[in-house]
A and B are shown apart, each in its own frame.
Chain A
Amino acid sequence: MKTTIRTDHEARAAAPAAAESPMIEIRGLCKQFGAFQALNSIDLVIPKGTVFGFVGPNGAGKSTTMSILATLLAPTSGTAKVGGCDVTRHPKQVRKLIGYMPDFFGVYDQFKATEYLHFYGASYGIPKAERARLIPQLLELVNLTDKKDAYVDTLSRGMKQRLCLARCLVHDPELLILDEPASGLDPRARIEMREILKELKSMGKTIVISSHILPELAEMVDEIGVIEHGRMVAKGNVQEIQSRMRVKRILQIRLAGREEEAEQYLGGRPFVNRILRDGRGVHVHFDGHDEEQSELLHGLIEQGFRIISFSEAQTNLEDVFLEITKGDGEGE
């Protein structure tokens, strides 16, 4: 299913500098609520067409950053630009460029799905005839074509989330800001949402997405930013961050006998933190880099241990997240 959604809206005309500038440019962004520092000098640049995953524990500042980008919150200091437009100086132009889906949102229950999209389409100034052409495409994209005449209050949570996503797309924005779009969804609805997001990614949209379900993010994002206590503690390509974090790695060694001896030998080697032994082999928590790892293997072979396998346990985004956020800025 490949759905083309293009409208003749003025979004592109709104940002003459947009072609050259990154989609999002945040510099020294701070937000204070009374004594609480929600954001502390955030810097972030997201190029066009990137799918950026925002990761962080609850209250870290993800939603605050997204609200500022969506022109719903004024920053205390710093600047945030979307498509080259400053969110505080040109909020109307920014709103043309973004489709925002908050973590919690309501719907107008007495509207039918089609009417709901017509209302938002009209609110973005899309002519009626164009809306009539566009809305069936959007409903098809989010797999709600068979629910077009259903009242919104009869839709399931997952369907409402998808309808809200269609609402975000009604004016064909260049940037989608999705705050926990899969929260509260059952596994099937989550998979459906993920497929739609992949489709949007293939359409070239820039997507900023936050989620607690990290394996889902890992599958679709190009870059991640880890935020904790209002600070960006890590950001960059998912693989890069994973390899950076892999300095603390777990080695899995399977031996053909002499496991106790191997455990004693490994215990005396540099960079080895901790050794666990179970029925599947010896697990070594290792602080060294690739070179030290190679020396460790070489030493084992020299000592005459018969090695069946020597491998590095796969770290996923969850491991990275836990590693980075286990202390105040420790991962930085």
Chain B
Amino acid sequence: MKGTNGCADKWRSRLINPVLGKEFTLRMRTVRSMWALFFYLLAIGLLALGYLYVTRMSSSGANAFNPDESRIMFIFISFVQLGLIAFMAPGLTAGVISGEREKQTLNLLLTTQQSSASIVISKLVSSLSFMALITLATMPVYSIVFLFGGISPGQLGMVFLFYWFTMLALGSFGILFSTLFKRTMLAVIVAYGITLFLFGGTAFLYLIVSQIMEEMTRSSGGAPGDFGWIGHLLALNPGAALYSLFDPEMTRWVFRMNMGSGGSLSTGQPALQLWQEFLIIYSILIIAAVLTAIRSVRPRLNKKSKRA
């Protein structure tokens, strides 16, 4: 028995480093975490039930629930969840380093043997774990969709993987700003600003640029496919990427591949689906953000000696 405990301890110490252990313990000891979970579930539950109620009312009180409507409801809940993640991720991560700095605990941590990578990654993983817990806690809400059919468990799995990836991306940006800016308030504002740009700004830019390009193409007699490159703007948008998971045709539409020369239908396929391009772009951005955060958390002590 003692051997089993010792083995478990050994594995625990390998998997959970001290900073991660501390983050887990302290996060779950605050009442704030419980309230965050409660309000998140309340928000998503109310929206899901509200949607169900409105749909049933609008279908003239019919007792049956159409599987198509169930699919739309699934998409609706998925977008609500994505919105809540976008709201939560910057708030949970943008203060993790600057907060330690403001509480005057960071210097103590930096004089230990913990590496910068261990500190940054542990804090990111801890925040993401809490967000993953919250999203997993919404599973019962999704079970409403399963009651009516129209959605496969595979699709649900894909959506959750997409959520966790989006959390990782937004969390990485949050932790980067938390490292770069000394004040948590500033880090949070910048993190929310970037999130707003990624969700709203890229969509707005896409619309504006597509209008301009359409005007220009029309006057020069070109084909809509000539400015298909503007679709890459939407590859930065998590909402568009999520929708492309539900509707693969969206990618063709975004890259203007459904319209060939003279408005004829094109049979070409995009090299990558919008969500695949999203994964590639954001994977690079995540790595860049995390590496920059790791380099910035401690002062660069050896820059002089290198120069020398």
Partners in one complex: yes
CA distance A77 to B114 in the complex (A): 26
Chain A 64-82 interface 0/1 with B at a Cβ cutoff of 8 Å (1 = within): 0001001111111100000
Name A99's closest neighbour in chain B (CB-CB): B111
A-binding segment of B14-22, B237-245, B253-261? B14-22
- From 100 to 123 in chain B, residues with beta carbon under 8 angstroms from any chain A beta carbon are 103-105, 107-114
* Max chain A Cβ within 10 angstroms of own Cβ: one of B21, B105, B299: B299
Q: Do B25 and A115 touch across chains, with their CB atoms under 8 A apart? A: yes
The interface residues of chain B, by DSSP majority, are classed as helix
- From 18 to 53 in chain B, residues with beta carbon under 8 angstroms from any chain A beta carbon are 18-19, 21-22, 25-26, 29-30
Q: Do A88 and B302 touch across chains, with their CB atoms under 8 A apart? A: yes
Q: Do A96 and B302 touch across chains, with their CB atoms under 8 A apart? A: no
Chain B 279-307 interface 0/1 with A at a Cβ cutoff of 8 Å (1 = within): 00000000000000000000111111100
On whether A122 and B9 interact (CB within 8 A), knowing A74-B299, A108-B105, the answer reads no
CA distance A67 to B301 in the complex (A): 12
Q: Is A92 an interface residue (CB 8 A)?
A: yes
Name B111's closest neighbour in chain A (CB-CB): A100
Number of A residues, CB within 8 Å of B = 38
Q: Is B13 an interface residue (CB 8 A)?
A: yes
Q: Do A105 and B104 touch across chains, with their CB atoms under 8 A apart? A: yes
CA distance A107 to B109 in the complex (A): 11
On whether A110 and B29 interact (CB within 8 A), knowing A88-B304, A89-B305, A95-B113, the answer reads yes
CA distance A89 to B302 in the complex (A): 6
Kindly list chain A residues whose C-beta atoms are within 8 Å of the C-beta of B107: 67, 70, 72, 100, 102, 105
Name A164's closest neighbour in chain B (CB-CB): B108
Q: Is A125 an interface residue (CB 8 A)?
A: yes
On whether A73 and B112 interact (CB within 8 A), knowing A104-B104, A106-B105, A107-B105, the answer reads no
On whether A95 and B112 interact (CB within 8 A), knowing A74-B300, A102-B104, the answer reads yes
In whole Å, how far is B11's beta carbon from the nearest beta carbon of chain A?
13
Name B12's closest neighbour in chain A (CB-CB): A128
In whole Å, how far is A174's beta carbon from the nearest beta carbon of chain B?
14
On whether A123 and B104 interact (CB within 8 A), knowing A88-B305, A110-B25, the answer reads no
Q: Which of A67, A111, A167 contacts B108 (CB 8 A)?
A: A167
In whole Å, how far is A109's beta carbon from the nearest beta carbon of chain B?
9
Kindly list chain A residues whose C-beta atoms are within 8 Å of the C-beta of B9: 128
The chain B residues found within 8 Å of chain A, CB to CB, are 9, 13, 18-19, 21-22, 25-26, 29-30, 103-105, 107-114, 299-305
A-B contacts, 25 listed (Cβ < 8 Å): A71-B111, A72-B107, A72-B111, A72-B299, A74-B301, A76-B304, A88-B304, A95-B111, A95-B112, A95-B113, A96-B113, A100-B107, A100-B108, A102-B104, A104-B104, A105-B108, A106-B103, A110-B25, A110-B26, A110-B29, A111-B22, A123-B18, A123-B109, A128-B9, A171-B113
- Which 8 pairs of residues, A with B, have the shortest CB-CB distance? A122-B18, A123-B112, A106-B103, A106-B104, A88-B301, A110-B29, A106-B105, A123-B18
